[in-house]
Structure formats: structure tokens, C-alpha cells
């Protein structure tokens, strides 16, 4: 019997949301993505002991550069296991500084290219603040493709499409978490607010011929994944990938590229900030996500201090 994972791969590009090499080798995703939280977990793997010590010596006194090099080293190893791309994240503390985000992205690409990795195998992950989106616009013009993350509002999605970013990562599970707590109830997959958000964005992009790829992220259960079968890409944890791989029941496509969506929105800074601010969930979850990634970035840097 065909597993749900193999069925899902017929409709959707599957991306591994992990730095775990064993899981990547076993489950064989096309792409992979990391963030400071995942890199912090990866740093505990015994296989990275010598690498950590080498980077610590080479970048003594410069923990920020050390963490960039560690992220690239992990990315380089992951790329040896997958046919596609690795997403590597800019320091979340730069989320409200367009120039610093842009400059950090250039450094990451330079580090990859120094290791012989072509930039077309790397996506630069940036928080979808107004400043991050504008930095991504500039990077795309330099043939550096981007993955806009911590995306919770429709305003963020519309601004990303307008900026011509390569890919967005709307966070299904974190949207679900907020509404579950706020409304004191659970949701079926069809009524899940995170699923509905991604479905709306997908229809908007396809209906208006935006080339930006929609990659659902941050899943809490299989129902959310199954309800988004047909989305361009889904980035999934090893635990949920394993569950999909063990399930041989039928999986039907739910999203189709010929669906129509809302009319195009062209957002300036004022309209973006107002529309995003009107979404209490998105405002809270974006701020929370940036804080969390910034804290893990600081923990990573302490490993190299």
C-alpha cells in the first residue's frame, strides 16, 4: 500500500523542518529548512562536536559570525542529502532593520558560495515585517531568493506577493494555537483557522497569477497537513513525516491551482501596518515569534562565546 507521505508528494513538494540528518536521509524530502531553534537542537547532536569546537576557535570573540558559519555548515551538510534547497534564517533581532537584514543575507550567501554552494540552492529566511519584506524585495533583484517566515496575516501575504518574494511560510499551527486559546475550543481540519488562512492565501496567489510559492509550516497534527494537500509546499517535522509514512489510508488533494481568489491588493507601508495591526492574532504571534527566535539566537551565540 502507498503511504500518505508518498500520496502527499504527488500533489505537494514536501520539505523537512529539521536539522536531523538521520530523519532527512530516512524520509527523503526535496528541500529542508532550519531556524535558530532547530540549530540550537542540532548543536546538541554528537556529530557536531568537532565542528562547534572548530568554529569556536576560528571565530573567537565574534559569536555572531560563528553562528552564521554554523548555520551555513549545517545547511551545507543537509544539502548533501537532498536534491533541492536549504532555507537559512537571518538573525531575528534584525527584523525591524531593512539594511541590516539585507547585509546579513548577503553575508550568508557569501559564506555558502565560499563553500562551493551555488546561491540557487539557498533560500534566505526573513521575518515578514515591513522591513523584512522590503529587504527581500532588494535581495530578489540581486538573484538571491527568499523565504518570508513568521507569516500570520493576509496583509503580510499580500505585501510579499507585491514584493516578488520567492516563497512564504504561513504558520498554520501557531495560528491554530492562538484561536484555540482565545476561543477555548478545538477545530476540525476544515474549520481550522490556520488551514483557512493558508487556503485563502493560496487561492489569492493562484487566482492573481502571483509566482510566489506558498509553503505551509508549523503543523500540530496530520489533519492540518491533509487539509492542505495540493499546496505548493509543506514543511513538516520528522515526527509528523513519520506518521504520514506509516499511514496507508487514502489522501485526496484539497487545494487546486485553478481556484479563484480575491482581487490584487497593492500595499504601501501605511496600509500594510494598519491591516496587519487590525489582526490581533497576527500582531501577537509575529512579535512572539521574533522574540522566541531572538532568544534562541542568543543561546546559540553563547555556545560560541
Q: Please, what is the end-to-end C-alpha distance for the chain in angstroms?
A: 51
From residue 94, how far is each of 6, 111, 296 by CA, in Å? 38, 19, 14
State the Cα–Cα distance between residues 236 and 218, nearest whole angstrom.
7
Nearest to 210 by CA among 168, 179, 153: 168
State the Cα–Cα distance between residues 61 and 57, nearest whole angstrom.
9
Catalytic residue (one of 9, 50, 99, 125): 125
Beta pairing class for 146-151 and 122-127: parallel
DSSP string for residues in 248-301? -S-------TT---PPP----HHHHHHHHHT-HHHHHHHHHHHHHHHHHHHHHH
Beta pairing class for 146-151 and 167-170: parallel
Q: Are 15 and 230 in contact (CB under 8 A)?
A: no
Strands (E), the chain: 13-17, 31-33, 86-89, 122-127, 146-151, 167-170, 213-216, 233-236
Placement of cell 505548493 in the chain: 232
Nearest to 71 by CA among 86, 61, 60: 86
Q: Are 88 and 124 in contact (CB under 8 A)?
A: yes
The four Cα atoms 56, 58, 59, 61 give a dihedral, to 10 degrees, of 80
Catalytic annotation on 299?
no
Other CB atoms within 10 Å distance of the CB of residue 250: 9
Catalytic residue positions, numbered? 125
Amino acid at each position: 500500500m502507498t503511504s500518505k507521505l508518498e500520496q502527499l508528494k504527488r500533489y505537494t513538494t514536501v520539505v523537512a523542518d529539521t536539522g536531523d540528518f538521520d530523519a532527512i536521509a530516512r524520509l527523503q524530502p526535496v528541500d529542508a529548512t532550519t531556524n535558530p531553534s532547530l540549530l540550537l537542537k542540532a548543536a546538541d547532536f554528537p556529530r557536531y562536536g568537532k565542528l562547534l569546537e572548530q568554529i569556536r576557535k576560528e571565530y573567537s570573540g565574534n559569536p555572531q559570525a560563528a553562528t552564521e558559519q554554523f548555520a551555513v555548515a549545517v545547511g551545507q551538510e543537509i544539502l548533501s542529502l537532498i536534491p533541492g534547497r536549504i532555507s537559512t534564517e537571518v538573525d531575528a533581532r534584525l527584523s525591524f532593520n531593512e539594511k541590516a537584514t539585507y547585509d546579513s543575507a548577503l553575508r550568508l550567501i557569501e559564506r555558502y558560495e565560499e563553500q562551493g554552494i551555488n546561491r540557487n540552492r539557498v533560500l534566505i529566511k526573513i521575518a515578514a515585517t515591513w522591513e523584512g519584506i522590503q529587504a527581500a524585495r532588494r535581495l530578489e533583484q540581486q538573484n538571491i531568493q527568499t523565504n518570508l517566515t513568521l507569516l500570520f496575516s493576509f496583509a503580510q501575504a499580500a505585501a510579499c506577493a507585491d514584493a516578488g518574494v520567492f516563497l512564504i511560510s504561513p504558520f498554520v499551527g501557531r495560528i491554530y494555537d492562538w484561536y484555540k486559546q482565545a476561543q477555548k475550543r478545538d477545530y476540525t481540519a476544515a474549520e481550522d483557522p490556520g488551514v483557512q488562512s493558508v487556503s485563502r492565501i493560496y487561492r489569492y496567489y493562484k487566482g492573481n497569477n502571483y509566482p510566489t510559492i506558498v509553503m505551509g509550516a508549523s503543523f500540530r497534527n496530520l489533519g492540518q497537513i491533509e487539509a492542505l494537500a495540493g499546496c505548493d509546499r509543506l514543511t513538516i517535522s520528522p515526527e509528523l513525516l513519520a506518521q504520514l509514512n506509516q499511514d496507508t489510508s487514502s489522501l485526496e488533494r484539497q487545494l487546486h491551482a485553478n481556484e479563484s481568489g480575491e482581487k490584487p491588493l497593492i500595499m504601501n507601508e501605511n496600509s500594510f501596518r494598519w491591516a496587519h495591526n487590525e489582526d490581533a492574532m497576527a500582531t501577537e504571534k509575529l512579535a512572539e515569534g521574533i522574540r522566541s527566535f531572538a532568544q534562541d539566537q542568543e543561546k546559540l551565540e553563547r555556545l560560541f562565546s
